[in-house]
Every structure is written in structure tokens, then in C-alpha cells.
Amino acid sequence: MSQTSHIPINQPRADRFLYLPSVAAALAVGWLWDWTQARWRTGCLTFLAASLSWYGWRSWDYSKTFLSETALWKNVLVVNPKSYRGYANLAANANNCGQPQMALEIVEKSLAIHPTYPEGWVIKAYALESLGKLPEAETFYRRAIESGGEDPRWLYLLADLLQREKQFGEAEIYYDRIAQLRPNYLEARYAAGLLAIQMNEPEKAEAHMTAALQTDPSNKQACEILEILHRQH
């Protein structure tokens, strides 16, 4: 017996829902225009001018929503205050802008709506890490990975944190897993190479740096490290 899975998108309002209904609406408006302008031409032209002015101004005003990610996600939350993704993306943008405390406050609103949202945990972990709260950040990275799957980006964030906490052995395990999942992940390959050097594993370091150069042949740092490793051989 098959079961139909339901994927909640938490987006009850979106312009794409109007695409099909708008076809009939456009035909009806076109027919009504032909019928009306044949009888009241002056009134119709006045109405048309007023409509163009109104919609032109509204389009210009709405275009300001797309001036920045912050404006975009704030508008999403105005339309749908219960959008946990809207809060999470606004928090992620605050992290990217170097405002971790603000990001932490915003992502808590996302998690209040959806307490088990893995991406929300990652965003919270990143903010905590930026605030120097490494053990708490590690907890939320692990929680997200256990719940949301082995996303290479999340594995990289955790591996990088573990490396800076000098938990080299576990960090290496995560870097190796990233290499299996996404062999061309440049940042992870480079970081894994540096970790291998710290752990006195030159052959492994060489393999990671070679992979990094295959992904980005212009990477000067990887090239320089490879040259040093070759000279040491």
C-alpha cells in the first residue's frame, strides 16, 4: 500500500499560485475592456491612465524589496509572520554581515515556530561560534547533522570548529567524510590538507592539496604548500 508524503512549505501566499487563474482573469478583463470602451471611451481612457499610474508607482515601491537580502526577508515576514524560513534566512544574513548577536536573536524566533529545524540550528551554531561560545556551537552543529543529514557544508563547519578546538582526530574524520560526499569542496580540501600537515601526514596533505588544485588551479596557497611538501620528500 503506497503512502503519499506531504512536504510542508510554510508558504500559504505566493504569486505563482495565481499563474493559472490569471489566464481566465486576463481574458475576462480584455473582453470587458472591449465592451466598455465602445460605450464610454473617455471614461475608459481616464481609468486606464489612472491604473497605469497606480500600478507603476506600486511596482516602483515594491522594487525596493529587492535592494538587499535584509529587505527581502523582512518583506517575507510582513506577508507571512509565521515563516520560520524567513526568520532563519534573515538571521543567516545577519551572520554574513558580522552581526552574530542579532542573528542569534532572530533565529530564536525561527526555532520558536519550528523547534526542530536543522538549518535553524546551524545558523544558531554559527552565531554562537562567532560569539566565542564554541561548546554550545558544537552541540547545535551535531544536532543539525544528526537530524538533517550529512550536508557537506554543515560537516565542514563542524570540522573547522573541531580543528580550532584541537580535536584533530575527529575533525579529520569529518573532512574525510566530506571528501567522499563532495570531492571538489575546495575550502574543505584545503583545510583538510592543513590539518594533515599538523598531524604529520604529508602524503594525505599532498592528496588534499592536489585535489584542491584540481578544483581551482589558480589556488596559490595550495600550490605553495604542495611545492614545500615535494621539497621535503
State how far the Cα of 178 lies from the Cα of 155, in Å rounded to an integer.
7
State how far the Cα of 162 lies from the Cα of 172, in Å rounded to an integer.
9
Q: pTM of the full predicted structure?
A: 0.75
Report pLDDT digits (tens) over 180-189: 999 999 999 9
Torsion, Cα 103 106 109 115, to 10 degrees, reads -10
Rg for the chain (alpha carbons), in Å? 26
Helix axes 168-181, 152-164, angle to 10 degrees: 160
Whether residue 15 has pLDDT greater than 90: no
State how far the Cα of 64 lies from the Cα of 215, in Å rounded to an integer.
38
- All domains in the chain, ordered by first residue: 65-149 (1.25.40.10), 153-233 (1.25.40.10)
The dihedral region occupied by 5, where left means phi > 0, alpha psi between -120 and 50, and beta the remainder, is: beta
pLDDT band at 228 (very low <50, low <70, confident <90, very high): confident
Contact yes or no for 145/158 (Cβ under 8 A): yes
State how far the Cα of 60 lies from the Cα of 66, in Å rounded to an integer.
11
What is the percentage of the chain residues whose pLDDT exceeds 70?
93
What is the percentage of the chain residues whose pLDDT exceeds 90?
56
Cα-based distances in Å from 33 to 49, 200, 214: 14, 79, 62
Report pLDDT digits (tens) over 130-146: 999 999 999 999 999 99
pLDDT band at 110 (very low <50, low <70, confident <90, very high): very high
Report pLDDT digits (tens) over 68-108: 888 888 988 998 999 999 999 999 999 999 999 999 999 99
